[in-house]
Protein backbone atom coordinates (compact mmCIF):
# COMPACT_ATOMS: atom_id res chain seq x y z
CA UNK A 1 0.00 0.00 0.00
CA UNK A 2 1.33 3.45 -0.96
CA UNK A 3 0.56 6.54 1.04
CA UNK A 4 1.98 10.04 0.65
CA UNK A 5 4.12 11.63 3.32
CA UNK A 6 4.84 15.27 3.87
CA UNK A 7 7.88 15.43 6.17
CA UNK A 8 8.30 19.17 6.64
CA UNK A 9 11.47 20.71 8.01
CA UNK A 10 11.54 19.31 11.52
CA UNK A 11 11.55 15.70 10.40
CA UNK A 12 14.61 16.42 8.32
CA UNK A 13 16.42 18.12 11.17
CA UNK A 14 15.64 18.36 14.84
CA UNK A 15 13.15 15.52 14.90
CA UNK A 16 14.88 13.02 12.72
CA UNK A 17 13.91 10.23 15.11
CA UNK A 18 10.25 11.00 14.48
CA UNK A 19 10.68 10.35 10.77
CA UNK A 20 12.76 7.27 11.44
CA UNK A 21 10.11 5.82 13.70
CA UNK A 22 7.25 6.69 11.33
CA UNK A 23 9.06 4.87 8.52
CA UNK A 24 10.01 1.93 10.71
CA UNK A 25 6.44 1.41 11.90
CA UNK A 26 4.98 1.83 8.41
CA UNK A 27 7.44 -0.74 7.12
CA UNK A 28 6.50 -3.20 9.82
CA UNK A 29 2.90 -2.95 8.62
CA UNK A 30 3.81 -3.20 4.92
CA UNK A 31 2.93 0.38 4.15
CA UNK A 32 5.09 2.28 1.70
CA UNK A 33 5.36 5.98 2.45
CA UNK A 34 6.14 8.19 -0.55
CA UNK A 35 7.45 11.71 -0.05
CA UNK A 36 5.51 14.46 -1.76
CA UNK A 37 7.94 15.26 -4.61
CA UNK A 38 9.73 18.62 -4.53
CA UNK A 39 8.00 19.60 -1.29
CA UNK A 40 8.51 22.99 0.28
CA UNK A 41 8.14 24.65 3.68
CA UNK A 42 4.56 24.79 4.98
CA UNK A 43 5.08 28.40 6.06
CA UNK A 44 4.84 27.47 9.72
CA UNK A 45 4.20 30.29 12.19
CA UNK A 46 6.09 32.87 10.17
CA UNK A 47 4.04 32.97 6.97
CA UNK A 48 0.59 33.48 8.43
CA UNK A 49 1.85 36.28 10.60
CA UNK A 50 3.16 38.14 7.58
CA UNK A 51 1.14 37.46 4.46
CA UNK A 52 -2.18 35.70 4.18
CA UNK A 53 -1.90 34.66 0.54
CA UNK A 54 1.64 33.41 1.03
CA UNK A 55 0.60 31.46 4.11
CA UNK A 56 -2.01 29.68 1.98
CA UNK A 57 0.06 29.38 -1.18
CA UNK A 58 2.90 27.48 0.49
CA UNK A 59 0.73 24.64 1.82
CA UNK A 60 -1.39 24.78 -1.36
CA UNK A 61 1.71 24.05 -3.41
CA UNK A 62 2.38 20.98 -1.32
CA UNK A 63 -1.19 19.81 -1.81
CA UNK A 64 -1.03 20.56 -5.54
CA UNK A 65 2.18 18.54 -5.83
CA UNK A 66 0.59 15.66 -3.99
CA UNK A 67 -2.38 15.78 -6.38
CA UNK A 68 -0.03 15.75 -9.35
CA UNK A 69 1.74 12.73 -7.93
CA UNK A 70 -1.62 11.00 -7.52
CA UNK A 71 -1.35 10.79 -3.73
CA UNK A 72 -4.90 10.56 -2.41
CA UNK A 73 -3.81 10.53 1.21
CA UNK A 74 -0.90 12.35 2.79
CA UNK A 75 0.39 11.66 6.26
CA UNK A 76 1.69 14.79 7.95
CA UNK A 77 3.49 13.79 11.17
CA UNK A 78 4.32 17.33 12.29
CA UNK A 79 1.30 18.81 14.06
CA UNK A 80 2.09 22.36 12.90
CA UNK A 81 2.44 21.29 9.25
CA UNK A 82 -0.75 19.27 9.64
CA UNK A 83 -2.57 22.31 10.96
CA UNK A 84 -1.32 24.56 8.15
CA UNK A 85 -2.26 22.06 5.43
CA UNK A 86 -5.73 21.39 6.80
CA UNK A 87 -6.42 25.07 7.44
CA UNK A 88 -5.37 25.90 3.88
CA UNK A 89 -7.57 23.22 2.39
CA UNK A 90 -10.45 24.46 4.54
CA UNK A 91 -10.02 28.14 3.71
CA UNK A 92 -9.62 27.57 0.00
CA UNK A 93 -12.71 25.38 -0.08
CA UNK A 94 -14.72 28.19 1.50
CA UNK A 95 -13.37 31.23 -0.32
CA UNK A 96 -13.46 30.95 -4.06
CA UNK A 97 -11.72 34.25 -4.80
CA UNK A 98 -8.89 33.45 -2.43
CA UNK A 99 -8.50 30.12 -4.15
CA UNK A 100 -8.21 31.79 -7.54
CA UNK A 101 -5.58 34.14 -6.21
CA UNK A 102 -3.58 31.30 -4.70
CA UNK A 103 -3.86 29.11 -7.80
CA UNK A 104 -2.73 32.08 -9.84
CA UNK A 105 0.32 32.54 -7.61
CA UNK A 106 1.15 28.85 -7.81
CA UNK A 107 0.77 28.51 -11.54
CA UNK A 108 -0.38 24.96 -10.84
CA UNK A 109 -3.64 23.10 -10.75
CA UNK A 110 -5.11 22.83 -7.27
CA UNK A 111 -8.22 20.81 -6.40
CA UNK A 112 -7.89 20.37 -2.67
CA UNK A 113 -8.82 16.73 -3.03
CA UNK A 114 -6.05 15.06 -1.02
CA UNK A 115 -7.01 13.68 2.37
CA UNK A 116 -4.67 14.94 5.05
CA UNK A 117 -3.96 12.66 8.00
CA UNK A 118 -2.08 13.44 11.16
CA UNK A 119 0.00 10.65 12.61
CA UNK A 120 -2.68 9.57 15.06
CA UNK A 121 -5.29 9.36 12.31
CA UNK A 122 -2.84 7.41 10.19
CA UNK A 123 -2.25 4.98 13.03
CA UNK A 124 -5.95 4.69 13.78
CA UNK A 125 -6.73 3.88 10.15
CA UNK A 126 -3.84 1.67 9.06
CA UNK A 127 -2.00 0.40 12.12
CA UNK A 128 -4.56 -0.06 14.87
CA UNK A 129 -6.58 -2.89 13.27
CA UNK A 130 -3.49 -5.10 13.08
CA UNK A 131 -1.72 -3.72 16.11
CA UNK A 132 -2.66 -5.98 18.98
CA UNK A 133 -1.46 -9.21 17.42
CA UNK A 134 1.93 -7.69 16.63
CA UNK A 135 2.66 -6.55 20.17
CA UNK A 136 5.59 -8.59 21.42
CA UNK A 137 6.82 -6.31 24.20
CA UNK A 138 3.76 -4.93 26.00
CA UNK A 139 4.32 -1.33 26.97
CA UNK A 140 3.43 -2.04 30.56
CA UNK A 141 4.00 1.47 31.85
CA UNK A 142 1.88 4.33 33.07
CA UNK A 143 1.96 6.87 30.30
CA UNK A 144 0.63 10.39 29.87
CA UNK A 145 -0.55 11.01 26.31
CA UNK A 146 0.08 14.62 25.43
CA UNK A 147 -1.72 16.08 22.39
CA UNK A 148 -0.82 19.75 22.61
CA UNK A 149 -2.73 22.38 20.75
CA UNK A 150 -2.64 21.85 17.01
CA UNK A 151 -3.75 18.23 16.73
CA UNK A 152 -7.21 18.94 18.06
CA UNK A 153 -7.81 22.63 17.45
CA UNK A 154 -9.61 24.43 15.91
CA UNK A 155 -12.15 21.70 16.36
CA UNK A 156 -14.60 23.12 13.85
CA UNK A 157 -12.09 22.64 11.07
CA UNK A 158 -10.26 19.51 12.15
CA UNK A 159 -13.25 17.59 13.51
CA UNK A 160 -10.77 15.28 15.21
CA UNK A 161 -11.42 13.69 18.61
CA UNK A 162 -12.72 15.56 21.67
CA UNK A 163 -10.78 18.79 21.82
CA UNK A 164 -10.91 19.06 25.60
CA UNK A 165 -10.04 15.50 26.37
CA UNK A 166 -8.87 13.60 23.29
CA UNK A 167 -8.57 9.84 23.66
CA UNK A 168 -7.23 8.45 20.37
CA UNK A 169 -3.61 8.23 21.47
CA UNK A 170 -4.69 6.89 24.85
CA UNK A 171 -6.57 4.10 23.12
CA UNK A 172 -3.54 3.24 20.99
CA UNK A 173 -1.31 3.15 24.06
CA UNK A 174 -3.79 0.99 25.95
CA UNK A 175 -3.74 -1.43 23.02
CA UNK A 176 0.05 -1.59 23.41
CA UNK A 177 -0.45 -2.72 26.97
CA UNK A 178 0.18 0.65 28.57
CA UNK A 179 -1.90 2.31 31.24
CA UNK A 180 -2.79 5.68 29.73
CA UNK A 181 -3.50 7.88 32.74
CA UNK A 182 -6.24 10.44 33.07
CA UNK A 183 -4.43 13.71 33.56
CA UNK A 184 -5.09 17.41 33.29
CA UNK A 185 -2.64 18.81 30.76
CA UNK A 186 -3.37 16.80 27.62
CA UNK A 187 -4.12 19.78 25.42
CA UNK A 188 -2.36 22.61 27.22
CA UNK A 189 0.21 24.77 25.44
CA UNK A 190 3.86 23.68 25.69
CA UNK A 191 5.17 27.09 24.71
CA UNK A 192 5.62 26.08 21.07
CA UNK A 193 7.80 28.45 19.04
CA UNK A 194 8.87 30.37 22.12
CA UNK A 195 11.38 27.58 22.58
CA UNK A 196 14.01 29.86 21.13
CA UNK A 197 12.81 33.40 21.74
CA UNK A 198 11.39 33.07 25.26
CA UNK A 199 12.77 29.97 26.91
CA UNK A 200 11.43 31.01 30.32
CA UNK A 201 7.84 30.94 29.01
CA UNK A 202 8.44 27.45 27.67
CA UNK A 203 9.99 26.36 30.96
CA UNK A 204 6.88 27.56 32.81
CA UNK A 205 4.29 26.12 30.45
CA UNK A 206 6.07 22.86 29.76
CA UNK A 207 7.01 22.72 33.43
CA UNK A 208 3.36 22.58 34.42
CA UNK A 209 2.78 19.78 31.93
CA UNK A 210 5.70 17.73 33.22
CA UNK A 211 4.71 18.45 36.80
CA UNK A 212 1.20 17.08 36.35
CA UNK A 213 2.39 14.05 34.37
CA UNK A 214 5.02 13.07 36.94
CA UNK A 215 2.76 13.91 39.87
CA UNK A 216 0.22 11.40 38.60
CA UNK A 217 2.85 8.72 38.25
CA UNK A 218 3.45 8.72 34.52
CA UNK A 219 6.59 6.85 33.49
CA UNK A 220 6.69 8.41 30.03
CA UNK A 221 5.02 11.18 28.08
CA UNK A 222 3.75 10.18 24.64
CA UNK A 223 3.61 12.86 21.95
CA UNK A 224 2.82 13.25 18.26
CA UNK A 225 4.34 16.65 17.55
CA UNK A 226 8.00 17.61 17.03
CA UNK A 227 7.54 20.99 18.74
CA UNK A 228 6.00 19.43 21.84
CA UNK A 229 8.77 16.89 21.85
CA UNK A 230 11.61 19.34 21.65
CA UNK A 231 10.09 21.57 24.34
CA UNK A 232 9.48 18.72 26.77
CA UNK A 233 12.73 16.93 25.93
CA UNK A 234 15.37 19.47 24.93
CA UNK A 235 14.19 22.12 27.41
CA UNK A 236 14.15 19.68 30.32
CA UNK A 237 17.01 21.41 32.18
CA UNK A 238 15.06 24.68 32.16
CA UNK A 239 11.86 22.81 33.10
CA UNK A 240 13.54 21.09 36.02
CA UNK A 241 14.98 24.39 37.15
CA UNK A 242 11.51 25.93 37.09
CA UNK A 243 10.06 23.00 39.01
CA UNK A 244 12.96 22.85 41.40
CA UNK A 245 13.21 19.08 41.04
CA UNK A 246 14.46 16.51 38.58
CA UNK A 247 11.86 14.99 36.30
CA UNK A 248 13.43 11.98 34.73
CA UNK A 249 10.70 10.52 32.59
CA UNK A 250 11.33 10.34 28.83
CA UNK A 251 9.21 11.89 26.09
CA UNK A 252 8.46 9.40 23.34
CA UNK A 253 6.77 9.75 19.99
CA UNK A 254 3.70 7.58 19.59
CA UNK A 255 5.39 5.88 16.63
CA UNK A 256 8.42 5.12 18.76
CA UNK A 257 6.18 3.62 21.41
CA UNK A 258 4.51 1.40 18.84
CA UNK A 259 7.92 0.41 17.49
CA UNK A 260 9.16 -0.50 20.96
CA UNK A 261 6.09 -2.60 21.65
CA UNK A 262 6.30 -4.54 18.41
CA UNK A 263 9.99 -5.18 18.91
CA UNK A 264 11.68 -2.82 16.44
CA UNK A 265 15.31 -2.10 17.24
CA UNK A 266 15.91 1.01 19.36
CA UNK A 267 18.31 2.47 16.81
CA UNK A 268 15.83 2.14 14.00
CA UNK A 269 13.42 4.18 16.10
CA UNK A 270 16.05 6.81 16.84
CA UNK A 271 15.58 6.45 20.59
CA UNK A 272 19.24 7.30 21.20
CA UNK A 273 18.70 10.79 19.83
CA UNK A 274 16.69 12.09 22.80
CA UNK A 275 18.12 14.45 25.39
CA UNK A 276 16.28 12.68 28.20
CA UNK A 277 17.43 9.08 27.88
CA UNK A 278 14.77 6.51 27.12
CA UNK A 279 15.66 3.79 29.58
CA UNK A 280 12.32 2.06 29.77
CA UNK A 281 12.64 -1.68 29.97
CA UNK A 282 9.54 -3.32 28.67
CA UNK A 283 8.88 -6.37 30.78
CA UNK A 284 10.10 -9.37 28.86
CA UNK A 285 9.64 -11.85 31.65
CA UNK A 286 5.93 -11.49 31.60
CA UNK A 287 5.83 -12.07 27.86
CA UNK A 288 7.98 -15.14 28.13
CA UNK A 289 5.76 -16.47 30.89
CA UNK A 290 2.68 -15.92 28.76
CA UNK A 291 4.29 -17.56 25.77
CA UNK A 292 5.05 -20.59 27.92
CA UNK A 293 1.44 -20.80 29.00
CA UNK A 294 0.44 -20.69 25.34
CA UNK A 295 2.87 -23.48 24.53
CA UNK A 296 1.70 -25.74 27.34
CA UNK A 297 -1.84 -25.39 26.02
Partner 1 sequence: MSRIGVFVCHCGENISATVDCAKVAEVASELQGVVHSVDYKYMCSDPGQTLIKEAIKEKGLTSVVVAACSPRMHEPTFRKACAEGGINPFLCEMANVREHCSWVHDKGEVTTSKAIDLVRTLVQKVKYNEPLYPIKVPVTKTALVIGGGVAGIQAALDIANCGHQVVMVEREPSIGGHMSMLSETFPTLDCSQCILTPRMVEVAQHPNITLYTYSEVESVEGFVGNFKVKIRKKARDLDENLCTGCGLCTTKCPQKKIPSEFEQGLGFRTAIYTPFPQAVPNKPVIDRHNCTYYIKGKCKVCEIVCPTKAIRFNQEDTILDLEIGAIVLATGYDIKRTDFFPEYGYGKYKDVIDGLQFERLASASGPTGGAIRRPSDGKEPKKIVFIACAGSRDPAKGIEYCSKFCCMYTAKHAMLYKHKVHDGDAYVFYMDIRAGGKNYDEFTRRAIEADGAKYVRGRVSRIYERDGKYIVVGTDTLMGAKPMEVEADMVVLATAATASPGAEELAQKMHVSYDAYKFFAEAHPKLKPVETNTAGIFVAGACQAPKDIPDSVSMASGTAVKVAALFSNDELTRDPSVAVVNRTAPPMYSTCVGCFLCKSVCPYNAIEEEEIKDRQGNIIKRLAKVNPGLCQGCGTCVALCRIKAIDIHGYTNKQVYAEVEALLNEL
Nearer to partner 1 among residue 122 and residue 185 (C-beta): 185
The total number of residues written for the chain in this structure? 297
13, 37, 46, 162: residue in contact with partner 1 (rule CB under 8 A)? 162
CA-to-CA separations, 138 to 60, 173, 195, 248, 261, in angstroms, rounded: 41, 10, 34, 21, 5
Nearer to partner 1 among residue 170 and residue 212 (C-beta): 212
Nearer to partner 1 among residue 53 and residue 167 (C-beta): 167
CA-to-CA separations, 266 to 18, 97, 136, 269, in angstroms, rounded: 12, 50, 14, 5
Question: C-beta of 182: minimal distance to partner 1 in Å?
Answer: 8
Q: Please answer whether residues 177 and 138 qualify as being in contact, where contact means their C-beta atoms are separated by less than 8 angstroms.
A: yes
Question: C-beta of 163: minimal distance to partner 1 in Å?
Answer: 8
Nearer to partner 1 among residue 2 and residue 215 (C-beta): 215
105, 184, 189, 287: residue in contact with partner 1 (rule CB under 8 A)? 184
Nearer to partner 1 among residue 211 and residue 283 (C-beta): 211
Q: For partner 1, which stretch binds (CB under 8 A), given 12-20, 124-132, 161-169, 193-201? A: 161-169
Fill in the per-residue mask, 210 to 249: x = in contact with partner 1 (CB under 8 A), - = not in contact.
--x--x----------------------------------
Q: Is 201 in the site for partner 1 (CB under 8 A)?
A: no
Question: C-beta of 184: minimal distance to partner 1 in Å?
Answer: 3
Question: C-beta of 238: minimal distance to partner 1 in Å?
Answer: 20
9, 28, 165, 287: residue in contact with partner 1 (rule CB under 8 A)? 165
Q: How far apart are CA 249 and CA 183, in angstroms?
A: 15
Q: For partner 1, which stretch binds (CB under 8 A), given 70-78, 157-165, 238-246, 264-272? A: 157-165
Which of 72, 78, 86, 79 is closest to 36 using CA atoms?
72
User: How many residues belong to the site for partner 1 (CB under 8 A)?
Assistant: 7
Q: Which residues contact 247 (CB under 8 A, 6 or more apart)?
A: 210, 211, 214, 236, 239, 240
Which residues of the shown chain bind partner 1 in the complex (CB under 8 A)?
162-165, 184, 212, 215
Amino acid sequence: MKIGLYPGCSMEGGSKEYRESVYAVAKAFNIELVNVPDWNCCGATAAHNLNKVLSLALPARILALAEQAGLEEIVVPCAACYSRLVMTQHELSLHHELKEEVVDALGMKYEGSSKILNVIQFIEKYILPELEKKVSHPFAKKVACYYGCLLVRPHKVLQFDRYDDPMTMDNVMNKLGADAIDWAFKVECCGAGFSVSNTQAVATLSGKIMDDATHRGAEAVIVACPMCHSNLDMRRPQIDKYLGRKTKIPVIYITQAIGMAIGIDKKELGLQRHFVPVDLILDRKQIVAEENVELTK
